[in-house]
Amino acid sequence: MKAENIAGDALEAVTVDELHKSFGDFEVLKGVSLSARQGEVIAIIGGSGSGKSTLLRCINMLEWPTRGRVRVHGEEIALKSDGHGGLMPADRKQIQRIRTRLAMVFQSFNLWQHMTLMQNVIEVPVHVLGVKRDEAIAEAETLLKRVGLYEKREAYPAFLSGGQQQRAAIARALAMKPEAMLFDEPTSALDPELVGEVLTVIRDLAEEGRTMLLVTHEMNFAREVASEIVFLHDGRVEEQGEPQTVFDNPQSERLKKFISTVQ
């Protein structure tokens, strides 16, 4: 499902252009460009160390690129030189504003352990977005029902399974009403029998037309939900295209090898 503007172009949600990222002398991203239009699901695949997490972290402004541009809903993130060969934000207010339009879900759930699920879900709406507490609670109840955790709303994360914690993390991300969601291997830390319940929630979000960038090793799932597959190798986009093309007719030897090792 794609939203169309008056001119008939699909609206761009997240775009990165010639993104480079180095840690010291080590260049992790070597000029990555990709674009997700509204309603698209981009699945990012690639071996360990290929730069997938760094790419998401640069988009979500947890890291600053060394070079290149990031646009969120057409708004370019203003960056300036940090004086050490890298970039830093030129406008803190802009960063704060854009950050709330993206929500990231991590491999390791990252719920606040000292808070109940309800408190986890309402924290950002109440304390960052300025939503009234009772409204945030009502919304959180809806979201926790949606991910099947309403009954657990007063439980602390430590008392939940990994699958439940990750579903709660997704509810927390949704409570920000993000315009795009970033998932970094959301099922990699789960016992195999818990993977399905999390994928079901993500599939549901894809079907309702959410814009998502999804790093995953679940190739069957990527094939099923993604509009586009991006294969990263050594900090570069080695190959990209529709799932059927990428999986059934890979061009590069590296992608062929990667697919044969993960399936």
Binding residues for ligand ADP, per CB under 6 A? 23, 28, 46, 48-54
The residues of the shown chain that bind Mg ion, judged by CB under 5 A, are: 52-53
Residue 213 to residue 42: CA distance in whole angstroms = 5
Instruction: Find which of Mg ion, ligand ADP, none residue 260 binds, CB within 5 to 8 Å per kind.
Output: none
Residue 119 to residue 17: CA distance in whole angstroms = 37
Shortest Å distance, C-beta 4 to ligand ADP: 33
User: 241's torsion region: left (phi>0), alpha (psi -120 to 50) or beta?
Assistant: left
Shortest Å distance, C-beta 106 to ligand ADP: 11
Closest CA to 56 of 90, 28, 25: 28
Instruction: Find which of Mg ion, ligand ADP, none residue 28 binds, CB within 5 to 8 Å per kind.
Output: ligand ADP
CB nearer to ligand ADP: pick between 52 and 167: 52
Shortest Å distance, C-beta 242 to ligand ADP: 22
CB nearer to ligand ADP: pick between 21 and 99: 21
Residue 193 · residue 173 · CB < 8 Å: no
Alpha helices in 61-210 (DSSP H): 92-99, 117-127, 133-146, 162-174, 192-207
Shortest Å distance, C-beta 105 to ligand ADP: 14
